[in-house]
Amino acid sequence: MSTLKLCKIIHAIWSSPQHHKQWHEEVDAAHCDSTGKLEEIVKMVILDVWTQWASTHQMCECVLQYCAVIDSYVAKVKPLRDYEMNANDWMSIQLVTKFLKTFCTATTQMSATKKPLLSTTHTIFKGLQDDLAKFMKDLPNNAPPKLMLALLGSHCKLNDYFFKFDLLHYIWSICE
């Protein structure tokens, strides 16, 4: 899958000082103006942490700013050529980023509450479900089938939790 390819590329960039330097040179060359000055502050790509979805979102969001640079870097580093990204891979990364953005928003909303209330949690969870359902409905027809199945599977798993959570909310309402 595209995110696995991307993780391999980023891991290679972080794996040695030589790769690190080569990456910075590639980014500098791509982001310099005609006088040789950097047009913007160059960010280092973010390394994904497998057990934390937020790091995957941050990695993808950061990498989308450097698509051309990553393609150029991978083309120059022979061991990474197996992981070259094509247009479908980049589209998959964009879709995964948008999908995870809904979770990021929900997490931010839940973290912003001073006191955790069941009604607030339920409302945010319901909003997350609605956003994900809309996202799934709006997926492009040319989206990779494996990606569509993976996103649908995660949406269905969350939906199962929502049903259990919604039932719990109903039971709590009866007890009051």
Task: Spell out the long-range contacts of 167-171 with Cβ–Cβ below 8 A and sequence spacing 24 or more.
Answer: 169/118, 169/119, 169/122
Residue range 46-82, pLDDT digits in tens: 777 766 778 888 888 888 988 999 999 999 988 899 9
Stronger pLDDT, 120 or 18, i.e. the higher one = 18
Examine the pLDDT at 170 and tell me if it is beyond 60: no
Contact criterion met (CB below 8 Å) for 129 and 160:
no
Stronger pLDDT, 31 or 97, i.e. the higher one = 97
Examine the pLDDT at 164 and tell me if it is beyond 70: no
- The pLDDT assigned to 49 comes to 74
> What are the two backbone dihedrals, phi and then psi, of residue 36, each rounded to the nearest 5 degrees?
95, 5
- The pLDDT assigned to 71 comes to 93
Contact criterion met (CB below 8 Å) for 74 and 22:
no
Q: Is 10 exposed, middle or buried (0-12, 13-18, 19+ CB in 10 A)?
A: buried
- The pLDDT assigned to 132 comes to 84
Tokens of 58: 């941050």
What residue type is assigned to position 40 of the chain?
E
What spatial distance separates the first Cα and last Cα of the chain, rounded to whole Å? 48
Contact criterion met (CB below 8 Å) for 27 and 72:
no
pTM of the entire structure?
0.76
Residue range 73-131, pLDDT digits in tens: 999 988 899 999 999 999 999 998 998 898 888 888 888 877 777 777 778 888 888 88
Stronger pLDDT, 8 or 120, i.e. the higher one = 8
- The pLDDT assigned to 166 comes to 54
Residues 6 or more apart in contact with residue 129 via CB below 8 angstroms: 158, 159, 162
Q: What percentage of the chain exceeds 90 in pLDDT?
A: 13
Enumerate the domain spans of the chain. Answer: 2-83, 94-175
Q: Name residue, tokens 């310099």.
A: 32
- The pLDDT assigned to 167 comes to 55
- The pLDDT assigned to 41 comes to 63
